[in-house]
């Protein structure tokens, strides 16, 4: 059985294309474009958040260590929390890549195309939500970690208390991953449809 013709899935002729509405044309944007853009967003924006957090906290850590060298090793934990945000992005990207398939045999083209289109939209917004929440999580952990290093240099007792706040911050990224997994679970790319 022939594969879906992604350029013209319903086999429309010139006249049907000329009278198509904008919302119909929007649905003809290739579903795999949406899917893979979601993958790229999930990874790319998560890593932007992780890097942002690392440099926010790293700068304060290094500056405060000049006068209080004892804080150096303990406060690297803030950097590790930021790195974990990047790993959330990698996990989501690999889960999403594993789901995306093109169909082997196509029996009914409109149902097949609609199903794959739905999956494409689901993947795109999964990637967007995971990526954006990891971006914000990285910034949050970075700012908190920077405050943690500076106050630890001044008063050692405050380290553990601010670390608790950092853990709350890093939970934001986890929320994003949980919602992302639920969102992408409905996205099925059927092998036969």
Partner 1 sequence: MVLMVSTLQEVTGDDSRFFFGYIGVASALIFANLGSSYGTTKSGVGICSMGVLKPDLIMKSVIPVVMAGILGIYGMIVAVILQGKVSGSNSSKQGYAYLAAGLCCGLSSLSAGLAIGIVGDAGVRANAQQDRIFVGMILILIFAEALALYGLIVSLILSQTS
Number of shown-chain residues binding partner 1 (CB under 8 A): 52
* Least spacing, CB of residue 121 vs partner 1, in Å: 14
Q: Which of 39, 136, 137, 148 binds partner 1 (CB under 8 A)?
A: 39
* Least spacing, CB of residue 134 vs partner 1, in Å: 12
Burial (0-12, 13-18, 19+ Cβ within 10 Å), 20: middle
Determine the Cα–Cα distance for residues 177 and 97; give it in Å rounded to an integer. 15
Q: Across-strand partners of 105?
A: 192
Quickly count: other Cβ atoms within 10 Å of residue 166's Cβ. 22
* SS3 at position 177: helix
Nearest to 6 by CA among 111, 123, 113, 107: 113
Pick the piece of the chain touching partner 1 (CB under 8 A) from 16-24, 28-36, 156-164, 172-180: 28-36
Pick the piece of the chain touching partner 1 (CB under 8 A) from 18-26, 47-55, 162-170, 174-182: 47-55
Pick the piece of the chain touching partner 1 (CB under 8 A) from 15-23, 99-107, 158-166, 169-177: 99-107
Q: Count of alpha carbons within 13 Å of 111, Cβ hemisphere only?
A: 8
Token pair of 64, please? 């405060």
Based on the shown chain and the rule CB under 8 A, indicate whether residue 48 belongs to the binding site for partner 1. yes
* Least spacing, CB of residue 165 vs partner 1, in Å: 21
**Whose Cβ is closer to partner 1: residue 76's or residue 181's?**
76
* Least spacing, CB of residue 73 vs partner 1, in Å: 7
């Amino acid at each position: 059985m022939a594969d879906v013709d992604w350029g013209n899935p319903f086999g429309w002729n010139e006249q049907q294309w000329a009278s198509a509405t904008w919302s119909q044309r929007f649905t003809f944007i290739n579903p795999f474009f949406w899917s893979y853009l979601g993958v790229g967003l999930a990874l790319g924006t998560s890593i932007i958040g992780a890097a942002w957090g690392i440099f926010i906290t790293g700068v304060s850590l290094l500056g405060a260590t000049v006068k209080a060298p004892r804080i150096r090793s303990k406060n690297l934990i803030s950097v590790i929390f930021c790195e974990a945000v990047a790993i959330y992005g990698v996990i989501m990207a690999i889960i999403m890549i594993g789901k995306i398939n093109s169909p082997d045999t196509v029996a009914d083209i409109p149902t097949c195309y609609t199903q794959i289109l739905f999956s494409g939209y689901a993947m795109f917004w999964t990637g967007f939500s995971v990526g954006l929440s990891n971006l914000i999580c990285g910034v949050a952990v970075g700012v908190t970690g920077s405050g943690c290093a500076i106050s630890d240099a001044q008063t050692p007792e405050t380290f553990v208390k601010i670390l608790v706040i950092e853990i709350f911050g890093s939970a934001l990224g986890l929320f994003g991953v949980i919602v992302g997994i639920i969102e992408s679970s409905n996205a099925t790319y059927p092998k036969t449809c």
